[in-house]
């Protein structure tokens, strides 16, 4: 049997370019192969009907595909324009604040902020219970076992400072690989330090955002596996809430509501803390966070940044004159609680370049130790003045709510000069200040474990089978609106 292609129909008449195969026919070697034979074959009504139907069906499908492609193109263009317009609307406003633009926000208590659900169960809360906490949001792999009365039973931390030092900052891909290599070892070490096995732990908590998504996924995936295998309650931890709640681990008598200043490598916010999952943001950075500014100044001054630029600038600033370099305090004319550190960073760079010119040097890299120390000290002093001004305004705003306690939290809260200056501000306004010890200000497993304890105490847990991770994970906009409506 010989198989022949019988018909190919050019479909330009339907507005679709190209040729479309519409059918195959077969013949025996003895049959004639002339044009008359082909016409004769097509004259059979059933065959002709099948071919026409097949042709029309294929043309229709192609036309629909083309229409869908055009629609998809227009839809993408429309979405792009809407996103651009949305960004334009938020210029000059604090970042990481939900104003309805985020698809996912953090609200464990539901729309009213108070309706918590135990999706994976709860431990026995009639006695002290324990939680394994896992942290992998950025460049350190941490794990800890914390008891519900605030005792850290065991912890372990794998630093990546040496890995990222040569690159001048965190490289996400390298951080992810290091997390994968270290996580199981860190968890095992934390359990050994606590003198416990996984079976003896009552629940598992893990950071799920905000942070570097590929790094978050490493910790979250392992925590999900452990929770499912061991049938333990599971809690997906909000990284910023974990920083805030460390103040309550340090000071068990600290009750809601209180004011928090969160200063870290990625965030700079003033929050009115009303309860678990309930935070009203009074101010945030419009560009760089304070931690980012420290890192960029460290790189400008050629300081080691593997362990973070903040400690390096702080150490150098101790040897400098904080008023030697005139710098402008940001946002002096804005009467709100927002921050901005991008302009200050540029101000320091220009001052350093001018100093190099005045010294007859080729570049900032050639500045002497004394000049670099003055630049570091002047930057730090101006950055803290900016903190003091915005924070004092926020403190006065919430005093009418009976709030007179400040929690200073986040990685940058480990800075001794910042702690000293803000403690002095609190004393001036007759406030009290709570700040965790420096090792508990930076990222580590205990913060995830303690935040999980706090969630479990109010009856809240998550489903380990479908937990996602989020690079951006703002506190819910509804909470902010609700709080303002009752003030």
pLDDT at 24: 39
288 has pLDDT over 70: yes
Quote the CA–CA distance of 460 and 297 in Å, as a whole number.
41
137 has pLDDT over 60: yes
**234 forms bridges with which residues in the sheet?**
204, 462
Provide, rounded to the nearest whole percent, the portion of the chain with pLDDT above 70: 82
pLDDT tens digits, one per residue of 324-354:
999 999 999 999 999 999 999 999 999 999 9
pLDDT at 333: 92
pLDDT at 102: 79
74 has pLDDT over 80: no
486 has pLDDT over 80: no
pLDDT at 398: 96
C-alpha 434 chain-centroid distance:
25
Tokens 């960073």, residue located: 345
Assign 30 a pLDDT band (cuts: 50, 70, 90): very low
Residue 23's alpha-carbon distances to 28, 37, 58, 61, 413, in angstroms, are 17, 16, 11, 16, 75
Higher confidence at residue 60 or residue 131? Answer: 131
Question: Token pair of 228, please?
Answer: 């499912």
Higher confidence at residue 164 or residue 40? Answer: 164
Work out the end-to-end distance of the chain between its first and last CA atoms, rounded to an integer number of angstroms. Answer: 88
pTM: 0.80
Assign 59 a pLDDT band (cuts: 50, 70, 90): confident
pLDDT at 132: 98
pLDDT at 135: 98
Q: What angle do CA 386, 410, 278 make, to 5 degrees?
A: 95
Strand 405-409 versus strand 258-263 pairing type: parallel
Segment 454-458 shows an average pLDDT of 98
pLDDT tens digits, one per residue of 149-192:
999 999 999 999 888 888 878 899 999 999 999 999 999 999 99
pLDDT at 11: 38
pLDDT tens digits, one per residue of 86-115:
655 666 677 667 777 778 899 999 989 999
DSSP category for residue 94? P
User: Quick check: helix, strand or coil at residue 284?
Assistant: strand
Q: What angle do CA 239, 241, 242 make, to 5 degrees?
A: 65
Higher confidence at residue 452 or residue 486? Answer: 452
Quote the CA–CA distance of 161 and 169 in Å, as a whole number.
9
pLDDT tens digits, one per residue of 394-431:
999 999 999 999 999 999 999 999 999 999 999 999 99
Least confident among 81-85, 301-305, 321-325, 358-362: 81-85
483 has pLDDT over 70: no
Tokens 């100044």, residue located: 297
* Number of neighbouring beta carbons within 10 Å of residue 275: 14
pLDDT at 81: 73
pLDDT at 97: 75
pLDDT at 71: 66
Domains defined along the chain, listed by start: 2-76 (no CATH), 90-487 (3.30.420.40)
User: Quick check: helix, strand or coil at residue 101?
Assistant: coil
Segment 283-308 shows an average pLDDT of 90
Quote the CA–CA distance of 212 and 472 in Å, as a whole number.
9
Higher confidence at residue 11 or residue 459? Answer: 459
Assign 67 a pLDDT band (cuts: 50, 70, 90): low
pLDDT tens digits, one per residue of 222-278:
999 999 999 999 999 999 999 999 999 999 999 999 999 999 988 899 999 999 999
Q: Evaluate whether 312 touches 169 at the Cβ level (below 8 Å).
A: no
pLDDT at 49: 63
Assign 212 a pLDDT band (cuts: 50, 70, 90): very high
Mean pLDDT of the chain: 86
Q: Show Cβ contacts of residue 15 under 8 Å, excluding neighbours closer than 6 positions.
A: 63, 66
Provide, rounded to the nearest whole percent, the portion of the chain with pLDDT above 90: 71
pLDDT at 476: 83
Instruction: Give me the torsion for CA of 82, 87, 89, 92, rounded to 10°.
Output: 180
C-alpha 200 chain-centroid distance:
31
Phi first, then psi: give them for residue 20, nearest 5 degrees: -125, 125
pLDDT tens digits, one per residue of 379-395:
999 999 999 999 999 99
């Amino acid at each position: 049997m010989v198989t022949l292609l019988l018909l190919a129909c050019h479909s330009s008449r339907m507005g679709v370019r190209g040729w479309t195969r519409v059918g195959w026919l077969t013949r025996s070697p003895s049959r004639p192969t002339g044009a008359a034979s082909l016409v004769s074959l097509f004259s059979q009504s059933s065959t002709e009907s099948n071919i026409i139907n097949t042709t029309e069906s294929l043309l229709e499908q192609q036309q629909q595909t083309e229409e869908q492609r055009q629609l998809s193109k227009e839809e993408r263009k429309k979405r792009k324009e809407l996103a651009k317009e949305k960004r334009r609307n938020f210029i000059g406003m604090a970042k990481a604040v939900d104003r309805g633009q985020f698809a996912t926000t953090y609200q464990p208590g539901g729309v009213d902020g108070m309706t918590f659900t135990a999706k994976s169960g709860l431990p026995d809360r009639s006695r002290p219970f324990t939680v394994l906490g896992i942290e992998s949001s950025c460049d350190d792999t941490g794990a800890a076992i914390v008891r519900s009365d605030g005792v850290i039973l065991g912890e372990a931390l794998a630093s990546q400072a040496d890995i990222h030092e040569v690159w001048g900052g965190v490289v996400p891909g390298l951080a992810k690989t290091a997390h994968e290599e270290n996580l199981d070892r860190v968890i095992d070490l934390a359990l050994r330090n606590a003198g416990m096995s996984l079976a003896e732990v009552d629940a598992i908590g893990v950071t799920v955002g905000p942070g570097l998504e590929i790094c978050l996924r490493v910790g979250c995936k392992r925590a999900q596996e452990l929770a499912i295998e061991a049938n333990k309650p599971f809690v997906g931890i909000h990284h910023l809430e974990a920083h805030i709640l460390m103040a309550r681990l340090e000071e068990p008598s600290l009750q809601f509501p209180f004011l928090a200043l969160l200063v870290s490598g990625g965030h700079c916010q003033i929050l009115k803390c009303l309860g678990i999952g309930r935070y009203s943001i009074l101010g945030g950075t419009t560009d760089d966070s304070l931690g980012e500014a420290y890192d960029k100044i460290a790189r400008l001054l050629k300081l080691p940044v593997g362990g973070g630029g903040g400690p390096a600038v702080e150490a150098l600033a101790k040897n400098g004159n904080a008023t030697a370099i005139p710098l402008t305090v940001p946002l002096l004319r804005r009467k709100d609680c927002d921050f901005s550190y991008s302009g200050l960073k540029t101000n320091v760079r220009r001052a350093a370049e001018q100093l190099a010119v005045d010294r007859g040097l080729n570049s900032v890299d050639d500045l002497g130790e004394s000049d670099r120390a003055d630049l570091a000290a002047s930057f730090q002093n101006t950055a803290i003045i900016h903190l003091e001004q915005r924070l004092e305004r926020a403190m006065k705003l919430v005093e009418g709510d009976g709030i007179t306690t400040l929690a200073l939290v986040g990685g940058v809260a480990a800075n001794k000069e910042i702690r000293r200056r803000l403690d002095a501000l609190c004393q001036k306004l007759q406030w009290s200040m709570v700040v965790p010890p420096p090792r508990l200000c930076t990222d580590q497993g205990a913060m995830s474990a303690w935040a999980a304890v706090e969630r479990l105490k109010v009856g809240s847990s998550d489903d380990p089978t479908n937990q996602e991770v989020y690079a951006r994970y703002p506190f819910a906009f509804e909470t902010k609106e609700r709080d303002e409506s009752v003030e």
